[in-house]
Amino acid sequence: MSDILLGQVLSFDADPFTAGLQAARHETRGAVVVENGKILAHGPADALRAAHPTARVTDYGKCLISAGFIDAHVHYPQTAIIASWGKRLIDWLNSYTFPEEMRFADPAYAAQISNRYLDLALAHGTTSMCSYATIHPQSVEAFFTAASARGLRAYAGKTCMDRNAPAGLQDSAQSAYDDSKALLQRWHGAGRLSYVITPRFSPTSSPDQLAALGALWAEHPDCLMQTHLSEQIDEIAWVRELYPAARDYLDTYEAHGLLGSRGVYGHAIHLTEREKHRLREVDASLVHCPTSNTFIGSGLFDITLARDIRVGLATDTGGGSSFSMLRTMAAAYEVAQLRGKALHPAELWWLATAGSARALHAQDHIGNISKGIEADLIILDLASTPAIAQASARAEDIWQALFPTIMLGDDRAIRATWIGGKPSP
């Protein structure tokens, strides 16, 4: 049986960074028809109700129906340490991240945090995510088990490290390859799940480990590969010491088979011109993590790269200071302002939905309201708090109505969530 969701509907025909604001489509009194887990149609409410007279109708009034948010760079094991007092990146890893990740040797704890993280993400309207796990295979098992139980399209991989980390968090080049391959064979393509090859970053992987993971990626080129790139100035200097023969940070990956079109590189703040050129040339993806970059003092991402490089948006939980993609959009707006670019609400919404889907090569599955796309949808109350309501009441168009929710909204704005064509509990 079909379902019809009624409300305002926001979708995209193209990328607003390249096609302009006309790429966005807004239906004031619209409808989305859902059948067998996918979007069957969308358009004017009256026409679709007439075309589908036997469908169940859920009327969300003036709420906005959108594709669910896609968080393109997450560390779900850091859920419990979010909002810890921030230092520089390396201090933060040593003080908070590594001690917490040690706990994921316990499968019960990994399951507990997996469930907690996914419940928090869904409460904030995030319907898909790409997450780092820990070095423990059971951390991947726990995450995928919890995601599968909720019917989510989710991406994750075992984080590989064989140096510059506590002994209890180190694997080896061989075990990183073996563990990752075994997990990939078990989970990649199981339902809506995808395995991601995951070296944490060059400082915590030896050249041998990077090469082993590069070889694994070459054997499974349909997988994504995720890592970190050029997050902080002192990190880049450290990479230069560890890899003196490399031309730059990106070259430490490229030299070991870890640069490609399905590569997803988090942060990418302090890029050289050569790095930008190579990322464009191979059609790689970057992920902007604005709350993390300001919280840990990393720097200001250049959002103009989104004009010719795939760019997604992410909370970077728990280095990022919020589980909310609304708060993340607000931070992206603020960071862009500091670099002289005022992002339009359409561009911000694209980054958090279709842009992140494209960064994960998932645009044929999620991230938009379009025929054939999986029905992962969120319903937003555009007057969820008194402050937002008084601002949106003065709006003269959808963008003026939506922008207060972007800047001031939180989980209270998420009226409902649909996963795979079904309302989420």
Residue 126 has pLDDT above 90, yes or no: yes
Residue-wise pLDDT for 187-229, tens only, equals 999 999 999 999 999 999 999 999 999 999 999 999 999 999 9
The arrangement of secondary structure in 69-359, i.e. its CATH architecture, is Alpha-Beta Barrel (3.20)
Residue 88 has pLDDT above 90, yes or no: no
Burial class (CB in 10 A: 0-12, 13-18, 19+), 356: buried
Residue-wise pLDDT for 285-312, tens only, equals 999 999 999 998 999 999 999 999 999 9
For residues 19 and 395, give the distance between their C-alpha atoms in angstroms, rounded to a whole number: 24
Region label for 419, one of left (φ > 0), alpha (ψ between -120 and 50) or beta (otherwise): beta
Amino acid 96: pLDDT: 85
Amino acid 85: pLDDT: 83
Residue 347 has pLDDT above 90, yes or no: yes
CATH topology of domain 3-68+368-423: Urease, subunit C; domain 1 (2.30.40)
Domain spans in the chain, listed from the N-terminal domain onward: 3-68+368-423, 69-359
DSSP at 3? E
Choice among 87-91, 265-269, 318-322 with the minimum mean pLDDT: 87-91
Amino acid 93: pLDDT: 80
Give the three-class secondary structure for 370.
coil
Residue 418 has pLDDT above 90, yes or no: yes
Residue 236 has pLDDT above 70, yes or no: yes
Amino acid 83: pLDDT: 85
With beta carbons less than 8 A apart as the criterion, state whether 347 and 17 touch. yes
Amino acid 350: pLDDT: 98
The pair phi, psi for residue 402, each rounded to 5°, is -85, -35
With tokens 């302002």, the residue in question is 337
With beta carbons less than 8 A apart as the criterion, state whether 340 and 2 touch. no
Amino acid 86: pLDDT: 67
pLDDT-based confidence at residue 94 (cuts at 50, 70, 90) = confident
pLDDT-based confidence at residue 92 (cuts at 50, 70, 90) = confident
Residue-wise pLDDT for 2-16, tens only, equals 999 999 999 999 999
Helix axis angle, 107-123 relative to 137-149, nearest 10°? 40
Amino acid 313: pLDDT: 98
% of the chain beyond a pLDDT of 70: 99
For residues 368 and 10, give the distance between their C-alpha atoms in angstroms, rounded to a whole number: 9
